[in-house]
Chain A
Amino acid sequence: MLSFLYARQSGLDDPVRLRRAESTRRVLSLELNHNRDVDRIHGNGINTLDIEVIDGRYMLSGGSDGIIVIYDLENNSKKPQYTCKAICTVGRSSRHVHKFSVETVQWYPHDTGMFVSSSSDKTMKVWDTETLKVVSELLCYSSHSALLCSVLAVGTKDPKVQLCDLKSGSRIHILQGHRGEILSVRWSPRYDHILATASTDIRVRIWDVRRASGSLFTLDQHNGDKSKASSEAVNTAHNGRVNGLCFTADGLHLLTTGTDDRMRLWNSGTGENTLVNYGKVVNESCKGLKFTVSRGCSPEFVFVPCGSSVAVYGLHSGELITMLRGHYNNVDCCEFHPDYQELYSGGKDCNILAWVPVLRQPGIEDDETNSKRGGTQAAINPAFEDAWSSDVD
């Protein structure tokens, strides 16, 4: 660390290098930490999480029980130990609440005053954060949505992908091409007219929404090599249903997961399969899988729910770096906090767990302080982890 600080101070290194190196170190040291706790509100599995990008302060969660919760991630306790408070909840008592499981929640990208949710109760709701009331509602089948500015892309049980205008609440465009249920939709963070959709028809399509015609291209796991694929498997991304999509932060690559227990990394510009081998990525989810990638690290990492743990892979190396174990049931979603390199994961055990980087140990020379603050020391000691986890239950 001192050498990085010196190199930054004397201008030998670009200041970004220190930032990347430290971010990477922090991601590699992620663990459950007794200093951080998230209020337990949901009484059922948690399907989806989203952290807003403006202040990085508020997190949304949507559960199988139809409840939506907003958490404040900021530490106002003036102490290292704190609990992320649930500041408001759309509970069963609210007349706006979703009747069935909430599949997606997402903040409006430019303002925390609004967010959208979609549910298997065949509705899509746009919420006012202040009043927690629905400002507009769309009827559609069980849906997965992705929001970009004022255009909302909705994938449903129907193979057609719908684009809705958030202002008017009306459908403005329909993208046709898939032949099965849409399990995931994502906008490219690089170009605001590029959309990726994943479907049970084992295909992933990339769309340019400015064009009226069909998709730009379909991802092909064999890169066009006919000899490797049977005729019906041409232009397929996976050998099973594709249930997860995630662009890298720079938008140059796209990750997909499928029920064939594979994860694939694609060049999002050309649709080429980069053939990074992540090994077997167990994927039993029959719904959409919400996984995420790190931001600002070098190299970058993928966090993907895998059974009851979160697997951390090197994005370009494909190497399994670690399994974050802590949940008692299947993990359905995880969300990375790019500002502080923290990971939040939600699972069927109704918990949201915060994975926090280990702090560097303070000076070793003071025995008296160490004994006084045994707590922080314990955080570094893995033996305390289990004891803490059982507290949560």
Chain B
Amino acid sequence: MSYNYVVTAQKPTAVNACVTGHFTSAEDLNLLIAKNTRLEIYVVTAEGLRPVKEVGLYGKIAVMELFRPKVCVRTHPEELSLKQASSVRKYRLGLTRVGDLLLITGAALLTRCALNSQVIDVQFLYGCQAPTVCFIYQDPQGRHVKTYEVSLREKEFNKGPWKQENVEAEASMVIPVPEPFGGAIIIGQESITYHNGDKYLAIAPPTIKQSTIVCHNRVDPNGSRYLLGDMEGRLFMLLLEKEELMDGAVVLKDLHVELLGETSIAECLTYLDNGVVFVGSRLGDSQLVKLNVDSNDQGSYVAVMETFTNLGPIVDMCVVDLERQGQGQLVTCSGAFKEGSLRIIRNGIGIHEHASIDLPGIKGAVKFLGGASSRSTASVLELSRLVKHTAVTTHTHTTEPYCTVVVFTCVCVQITSVSVRLVTQDSKALVSEWKEPQGKNISVASCNSTQVVLAVGRVLYYLQILTGELKQISSTEMEHEVACLDITPLGESAGESSICAVGLWTDISARLLKLPCFSPLHKEMLGGEIIPRSILMTTFEGSHYLLCALGDGALFYFGLDIQTGVLSERKKVTLGTQPTVLRTFRSLSTSNVFACSDRPTVIYSSNHKLVFSNVNLKEVNYMCPLNSEGYPDSLALANNSTLTIGTIDEIQKLHIRTTVAEKEVKGAVYSMVEFNGKLLASINSTVRLYEWTAEKELRTECNHYNNIMALYLKTKGDFILVGDLMRSVLLLAYKPMEGSFEEIARDFNPNWMSAVEILDDDNFLGAENAFNLFVCQKDSAATTDEERQHLQEVGLFHLGEFVNVFSHGSLVLQNLGESSTPTQGSVLFGTVNGMIGLVTSLSESWYSLLLDLQNRLNKVIKSVGKIEHSLYPSAAVRDVNSHSRTLSHTHTHTHTLTLTHSARKGAWTLLVSHCDVEAATDDLLWRRGLSTLLHHSF
């Protein structure tokens, strides 16, 4: 039996729907974006969009609208209504079209109406006595517009106030117009028509004929302006010109359409404020655009302010290792029509290299740069001079400076192995110097802008930096030699730390001492025999942490109480295999830690959970932040031979680069693969193997006919997996001796396939039309011929995403050093909505543990809209009978990441109490279980 784990690497990026309104509070202007199963909530601010919350749903968002409950006297924030495929929730009076059914809903389903003729679009009208719906429908004669009044008492449709037969043959949208105009606008392929029963006005502007209008949004509450977007990504403004009659009534005088400019191909549009429009796209990147009063040189009124990357639809993809680092990169064919592009995706954090200098033995230079980093005028020239200067200084002192810190604008502290020096920066004059009384060498030191702590063997000294003077305040002797120390000021202590963190040799412990008296606060035995090499106190998202890196690349991290110095929540991760050096830097106004080692890692916090992201660099020995005019917000990174200056990409994003390419397909060849040096192709119902003749021409070697339509092919050795249009998967074996195909086994379930992959010799992965993944198993040991011919469906998982492509490979380094990663193999998949996920095999014990955890988490996590997790898979169109489900559900696992600490503990306690796992293993299981799976798998 094989057990598989499905996890999301990149959430869906294609935008299905968006709305604007006052949602989080009456004052906030919010933008809500629906991305298939996820909902993102933003606040619109003067600086741009600020994310507030992101929620996942156990269902696909089909329609999204904001509404305000009318019964409440006080103005409530508008409440969100979410409609799942066929269920409607929290709707005052809603209208849903499900297939050929029209549902009118109140608190519950009010009425349904079967639509025999094809309904194209339906909307409620404004300004009617009774709720009135207006719809476009098609019958053999053409398309017509009709209105119906909804009788809430009888739950029936009654004849409405007006109708219009034989509107344009391609009429596709109804836009209800608010009062004073009332009525509706009907958008067609060539014309735009206004109706309200007694007034009829049609225009046929030539500009809209080029393409089809697919979305609209009202700009003004009075309905005088509308935005229209078409399939070519053009944005139009529809203006309703009004006219005041003698009796004071306002009527429509004329309609105008103006081309504003070009954007991404819009799926939905929403007008935010101040001429800013959000263009949600499913086929390309979503955009935030500004509508200007005046046109630019190209005649466009549209200026793109911000672009939101969208990978969907991922039509094809493959994993390559371009940089030969053992870390795969994913190349996807993304987008459609004019938005088509090739994108390169890599896990972790990208460093954009700006400059690099080859400098052997660079150790000292980087440390000096630590001092120069706050200088605002450093340029490349100056940099090289600084490097040279350092070389001179080191030469004269014949010692390497350990640490340099600019204390005031003109003074800096230089710590070398023999002394601590206070130097003015301009004149390079020595102001004050401190030496160990017996002249012993300083082994380690740490300083901030007001304090210096240094260790000479077992003795710790605490110095204070006063104006023009270094003053020794106290000293103490530790039990063992000091390996590393840190006095980074935390909290609101304004540049002065009351705690000193120390790592010791011999007993391998991390200790916290109070300053200035060096009284011990806390002692934490790290265990093992590897000494701590770097210790660091830092603050992420308001929580304080102590990080301690060992000589073997392992990292311990603890929660730190800065008042008492007590450590809690001990955890361990393996970052690399070499001694690790920890450095802090700030990126996008959040603090991060850079762990320098053979596998450099950036540590940051997301939702109060530390995240370890690897960097696209081979080896970094030292790192320090650099912020100068020439290199704003940069990092200086050094290894044994090179100094590199680069900027860091936005954290927590897959690294995406875009290029443009075209793909050409001819004939009804659905799939082609290289197979034993020959060409295997699927042509309609036939799987055909071509061999190369001596003249380099293709000649048919053999065929297999027993398919309805062979859409997908995958091969492994002599085996071929065929994905049929509607008959699931088929396993063929190629017989090289006979030059023929043999049917080995087939899955007899009527699955309409969308992608297939061979997991291993016995297990086959498929994705089908109803957004499910399934695993089939070959039973070679079966006793009867019939059983051997059947691929048994052993696992089923409702993904809720349409998978277009599977690809073997992983975006992380394969040899992680951590052999405990309990997974095997990895298959990436890409979906229509731009989601990238991973399927990996795990052992039965892990499967049952994770399944148990998932079930328990489901009891703790409240789902949005009260749509039960257990209902989600059953939303699949296909009935699944008592099949064993051995694909673990991960919808909730991704949820765990966003759990607060307390909720997570709650879930864990539940699990622990059940499994009889000792409390001590809590950390181990949690860390190895979820974080390993989630972060190491991706």
Residues in A lying within 8 Å of B, measured CB to CB:
1-2, 5, 8-12, 15-16, 18-19, 22, 54-57, 74-76, 78-80, 252-253, 267, 269, 274, 316-317, 339-340, 359-363, 366, 368-369, 373, 376
A11 contact set on B, CB distance < 8 A: 14, 282-283, 312-313, 336, 802, 832-833
Across the A-B interface, give the 3 residue pairs with the lowest CB-CB distance, nearest first.
A339-B750, A11-B832, A362-B686
Asked whether B684 lies within 8 Å of A361 as measured between CB atoms, the reply is yes
Among the listed stretches B393-401, B404-412, B698-706, which one makes contact with chain A, having 4 or more residues with CB under 8 Å of it?
B698-706
Closest chain-A Cβ to B735's Cβ sits at a distance in Å of 13
CA distance A317 to B140 in the complex (A): 9
Q: List 15 A-B contacts (CB under 8 A).
A: A15-B752, A15-B754, A15-B771, A18-B752, A19-B769, A75-B706, A78-B742, A252-B114, A274-B116, A339-B726, A340-B726, A362-B688, A366-B688, A369-B700, A373-B705
**B1: Cβ under 8 A from any A Cβ:** no
**Which residues of B (646-688) have their CB < 8 Å from a CB of A?**
667-670, 683-686, 688
CA distance A80 to B741 in the complex (A): 14
Asked whether B683 lies within 8 Å of A363 as measured between CB atoms, the reply is yes
**B711: Cβ under 8 A from any A Cβ:** yes
A316 contact set on B, CB distance < 8 A: 116
| Closest residue on chain A to residue B732 by CB atoms | A78
Choose one: A8, A54, A75; the contact of B802 (CB below 8 Å): A8
**B804: Cβ under 8 A from any A Cβ:** yes
Asked whether A1 lies within 8 Å of B116 as measured between CB atoms, the reply is no
**B611: Cβ under 8 A from any A Cβ:** no
Asked whether B668 lies within 8 Å of A9 as measured between CB atoms, the reply is no
The SS class assigned to the A binding surface is: loop
Closest chain-A Cβ to B264's Cβ sits at a distance in Å of 14
With contact pairs A11-B14, A16-B877, A19-B769 given, residues A363 and B686 touching in the complex (Cβ less than 8 Å): yes
Per-residue interface assignment for chain B, residues 733 to 767, with 1 indicating a CB less than 8 Å from any chain A CB and 0 otherwise:
00000000011000011101010000000000000
Choose one: B283, B683, B726, B748; the contact of A362 (CB below 8 Å): B683
Asked whether A9 lies within 8 Å of B700 as measured between CB atoms, the reply is no
A274 contact set on B, CB distance < 8 A: 116
| Closest residue on chain A to residue B805 by CB atoms | A9
**Which residues of B (787-834) have their CB < 8 Å from a CB of A?**
789, 802, 804, 832-833
**B298: Cβ under 8 A from any A Cβ:** no
B769 contact set on A, CB distance < 8 A: 15-16, 18-19
**B173: Cβ under 8 A from any A Cβ:** no
**B725: Cβ under 8 A from any A Cβ:** yes
B770 contact set on A, CB distance < 8 A: 15
Asked whether B668 lies within 8 Å of A80 as measured between CB atoms, the reply is no
Asked whether B804 lies within 8 Å of A80 as measured between CB atoms, the reply is no
Asked whether A9 lies within 8 Å of B804 as measured between CB atoms, the reply is yes
CA distance A30 to B802 in the complex (A): 30
| Closest residue on chain A to residue B699 by CB atoms | A368
CA distance A211 to B511 in the complex (A): 79
Per-residue interface assignment for chain B, residues 281 to 314, with 1 indicating a CB less than 8 Å from any chain A CB and 0 otherwise:
0110000000000000000000000000000110
CA distance A369 to B700 in the complex (A): 8
A56 contact set on B, CB distance < 8 A: 750
Asked whether B752 lies within 8 Å of A19 as measured between CB atoms, the reply is yes
Extra pairs beyond A54-B881, A79-B706, A269-B114 (12, CB < 8 Å): A2-B668, A5-B711, A10-B336, A11-B802, A22-B726, A56-B750, A252-B114, A317-B140, A359-B684, A359-B685, A363-B667, A373-B705
* Interface-centre pick from B116, B140, B312, B727 (highest chain A CB count, 10 A): B116
**B786: Cβ under 8 A from any A Cβ:** yes
A9 contact set on B, CB distance < 8 A: 313, 315, 804, 832
| Closest residue on chain B to residue A77 by CB atoms | B706
| Closest residue on chain B to residue A267 by CB atoms | B114
B708 contact set on A, CB distance < 8 A: 340, 359
* Interface-centre pick from A78, A373, A376 (highest chain B CB count, 10 A): A78
Asked whether A362 lies within 8 Å of B743 as measured between CB atoms, the reply is no
A361 contact set on B, CB distance < 8 A: 684
* Count of A-B residue pairs with CB < 8 Å: 103
A75 contact set on B, CB distance < 8 A: 706
B703 contact set on A, CB distance < 8 A: 362, 369, 373
A369 contact set on B, CB distance < 8 A: 688, 700, 703
CA distance A75 to B754 in the complex (A): 23
**B709: Cβ under 8 A from any A Cβ:** yes
* Interface-centre pick from B140, B685, B752, B771 (highest chain A CB count, 10 A): B752
Asked whether A360 lies within 8 Å of B283 as measured between CB atoms, the reply is no
Asked whether B743 lies within 8 Å of A78 as measured between CB atoms, the reply is yes
Choose one: B336, B700, B725, B743; the contact of A368 (CB below 8 Å): B700
A366 contact set on B, CB distance < 8 A: 688, 700
CA distance A74 to B312 in the complex (A): 38
CA distance A162 to B729 in the complex (A): 45
Closest chain-B Cβ to A376's Cβ sits at a distance in Å of 6
CA distance A252 to B685 in the complex (A): 36
CA distance A80 to B686 in the complex (A): 11
CA distance A362 to B686 in the complex (A): 6
B685 contact set on A, CB distance < 8 A: 359-360, 362
CA distance A316 to B804 in the complex (A): 35
Choose one: B336, B684, B833; the contact of A12 (CB below 8 Å): B336
Asked whether A10 lies within 8 Å of B832 as measured between CB atoms, the reply is yes
* Interface-centre pick from B315, B705, B708, B727 (highest chain A CB count, 10 A): B705
Asked whether A76 lies within 8 Å of B786 as measured between CB atoms, the reply is yes
B282 contact set on A, CB distance < 8 A: 11
B116 contact set on A, CB distance < 8 A: 274, 316
Choose one: A22, A267, A339; the contact of B725 (CB below 8 Å): A22
B706 contact set on A, CB distance < 8 A: 75, 78-80
| Closest residue on chain B to residue A2 by CB atoms | B668
CA distance A289 to B282 in the complex (A): 50
CA distance A74 to B748 in the complex (A): 8
B684 contact set on A, CB distance < 8 A: 359-363
CA distance A376 to B116 in the complex (A): 39
A368 contact set on B, CB distance < 8 A: 700
| Closest residue on chain A to residue B116 by CB atoms | A316
Closest chain-B Cβ to A297's Cβ sits at a distance in Å of 13
Choose one: B315, B670, B789, B802; the contact of A15 (CB below 8 Å): B802
CA distance A15 to B769 in the complex (A): 6
A359 contact set on B, CB distance < 8 A: 684-685, 708
| Closest residue on chain A to residue B725 by CB atoms | A22
Closest chain-A Cβ to B337's Cβ sits at a distance in Å of 8
Closest chain-B Cβ to A103's Cβ sits at a distance in Å of 29
A18 contact set on B, CB distance < 8 A: 752, 769
Closest chain-B Cβ to A208's Cβ sits at a distance in Å of 18
Closest chain-B Cβ to A52's Cβ sits at a distance in Å of 11
**Which residues of B (263-293) have their CB < 8 Å from a CB of A?**
282-283
CA distance A363 to B785 in the complex (A): 32
| Closest residue on chain B to residue A316 by CB atoms | B116
Choose one: B313, B700, B786; the contact of A10 (CB below 8 Å): B313
| Closest residue on chain B to residue A368 by CB atoms | B700
CA distance A340 to B707 in the complex (A): 12
B754 contact set on A, CB distance < 8 A: 8, 15
Closest chain-A Cβ to B790's Cβ sits at a distance in Å of 9
CA distance A376 to B704 in the complex (A): 12
Asked whether A360 lies within 8 Å of B709 as measured between CB atoms, the reply is yes
Closest chain-A Cβ to B419's Cβ sits at a distance in Å of 68
CA distance A19 to B283 in the complex (A): 22
Choose one: A1, A10, A54, A252; the contact of B283 (CB below 8 Å): A10
Closest chain-A Cβ to B256's Cβ sits at a distance in Å of 30
A74 contact set on B, CB distance < 8 A: 748
A5 contact set on B, CB distance < 8 A: 670, 711
B114 contact set on A, CB distance < 8 A: 252-253, 267, 269
A267 contact set on B, CB distance < 8 A: 114
B789 contact set on A, CB distance < 8 A: 76, 78
A12 contact set on B, CB distance < 8 A: 283, 336
CA distance A360 to B667 in the complex (A): 13
CA distance A267 to B668 in the complex (A): 42
CA distance A243 to B700 in the complex (A): 55
